[in-house]
Amino acid sequence: MLSGHDVVEICNDKWKTYEFLRSNNIGTPKTYKNLDSLHQALDNGEINFPIVIKPRWGMASMGIYMADDMKELEVFYNKSLKEIGSSYLKYESAITPDEMIIFQEKLKGQEYGLDVINDLEGNFVKCIPKSKLEMRAGETDLGQVVASKPFDGLAARLSELFRHEVILSVDCFDCSDELKVIEMNCRISGHYPLSHLAGINLPAQIIEWLEGKPTNSRYFEYTEGLYITKDLVPRIIEYKKP
């Protein structure tokens, strides 16, 4: 299940994500797409350290660093470029060879991952939010499934704007005065398993949608307050006699 080309393009390109959110008056961190604009913003006092350095076309938290001063900014910027060049990120990054990295203000607050569910016609169905407590390789390793009410307005707004199919994964921060979105992906993400273990059954609903059946509300009932972890379990994969 995949959303339209325009939705995918906005989600894949973190600069376009920023422009989309700003143009629709949705909270998002201050973002700059090159060093010149960042240095100007620093000189003007628009932004202060610490600054988040991340690949514009990134995933799995590759090449992301936090700079506390100008010296670290230079070192981590070059390190991020090297990581892009030595990984599969280099392919999409080649679309913007002079602007492979973006710079963002560091947000203060609790981070959340939202599963924004639409039906196959792009109608809003449900928002399932999880607090992100521990991360590993860009995925939520430990989180708590929480009530949807504080996030329903943002979720419904994104649903209306995108009209995406099935699922939009949204990373956001609760910055006390407003929710600020940092990234979006129109696919099942690393924090969906928490939703599933809490009671959500999106795969079953997708099958019924494809069979022409209506939305079944019981597939979207979940238990609030659960702490869920994606354990790594050691196991033997092969035995060779000494």
Tokens for 161? 């704007």
Q: In this predicted structure, what is the pLDDT of residue 140?
A: 66
Q: What is the pLDDT of residues 144-187, one digit of tens each?
A: 999 999 999 999 999 999 999 999 999 999 998 899 999 999 98
Residues of the chain with pLDDT under 50: none
User: Which structural domains are found in the chain, ordered by start?
Assistant: 30-105 (3.30.1490.20), 110-229 (3.30.470.20)
Q: Is the peptide bond before 214 cis (omega within 30 degrees of 0)?
A: no
Q: In this predicted structure, what is the pLDDT of residue 154?
A: 98
Residue 117, Cβ neighbours under 10 Å: how many? 24
Q: What is the mean pLDDT of the chain?
A: 92
What b/e sequence results for 37-74 when a residue is b if at least 16 CB atoms lie within 10 Å of its CB, and e otherwise? ebeebbeeeebeeebbbbbbbbbeebbbbebeeeebbe
For 168, counting Cβ atoms within 10 Å of its Cβ (0-12 exposed, 13-18 middle, 19+ buried), the class is buried
Angle (CA) 132-138-143 rounded to 5° is 20
Q: In this predicted structure, what is the pLDDT of residue 139?
A: 63
Q: In this predicted structure, what is the pLDDT of residue 138?
A: 57
4 DSSP assignment = -
Q: In this predicted structure, what is the pLDDT of residue 236?
A: 63
